[in-house]
Amino acid sequence: MIVITGGAGMIGSIIAWHLNHKLGRDDLVIVDSIQHPEQWQNLVKRQYAQYLDKDQLMAWLDGRNDIEAIIHMGAISATTERDFNKLVADNIHYSQNLWNWCAKNQVPFFYASSAATYGDGTLGYNDANIDNLRPLNGYGYSKHFFDQWALRQMPENTPPSWAGFKFFNVYGPNEYHKERMASVAFHTFNQFSQTGTMKLFKGTKTGVEDGMQMRDFVYVKDTASVVVHFLSTATSPKNPNQTSNGIYNIGTGQARSFKDLATNVMLSMAREPHITYVDMPEDLQGKYQYFTQANMTKLSAVGYVTPFTSLEDGIKDYVQHYLLQEDRYC
């Protein structure tokens, strides 16, 4: 069995989709704590053996010897979360408990980190050296803390295969429950559909023009492909590969502007683009990343060579095959 925490979330449900449809696996245990009233729809098209609330998982794991791997995507993912005690409990202690179980039982463990760990980007986006990073918010720090903790467990207290994934700006189907934290692609589609324009931030930083804040936008199907690649490598008896243990950026390696993103959404809707520029909210000022771009050298070096979807192709697939359809779910 493969356990997927956060399995009703955006990335987790698409990992399950990948395992169902590309590998024919349905021996999945989906773990989550569904908060949004419509989030259950992320699971309707999945084939899986069991669903557990996140608070049931550790007791359920006790004494089991049939777990092939744990894919830990569950977390508080809101960059605006102010209750640091909640972040410690859900993003640090819960992750440590799963790591320790996998180390004790010699089960591969793969988990979600975040590009939010890089802070304002002044130290770059190199996954080979994370020691001096300064996240801009509590969420980013909780992920950074766990990354550092995981690295300190080597070599005595580690799963046989493990990887942490620093996801950059993920967009795509099954993000509809994320509300404010959903991608700008999703917000563009909704806002443009309702008002005929999309509001983007003015260039409030010297040298940044309106709408030209840059992000490494990565399609959610590509993130699932990377995770499943590591899973397949770790669990294949023909290809044992512990040398790939570590922390990896998951992005395209190419920064694009929010203006590019929004424009492509509108064009994929077969409509003339229209953008309105507005001031940045006060709660984001001083805590906003103006540029992110994943250094992808490390991932390539361990043999992941599948091309990432271009922004144009990813947005077109998302808009035309999901957002414009009556049934939006993958």
Helix, strand, coil % over all residues of the chain, rounded to 5: 40, 15, 45
Q: Which of 54, 86, 178, 205 is catalytic?
A: 178
For residue 54, indicate whether it is catalytic.
no
**DSSP for 267-311?**
HHTTS---EEEEPPPTTTTTS--SB-----HHHHHTT--PPPPPH
State both tokens at 246: 């570590």
* 97 close to 61: Cβ distance less than 8 angstroms: no
For residue 238, indicate whether it is catalytic.
no
* 59 close to 85: Cβ distance less than 8 angstroms: no
Q: Which of 94, 125, 139, 322 is catalytic?
A: 139
* 72 close to 5: Cβ distance less than 8 angstroms: yes
What gap in Å lies between CA 199 and CA 188, rounded to an integer? 8
Secondary element (H or E) of residue 171: strand 169-171
Annotated catalytic residues are 139, 178
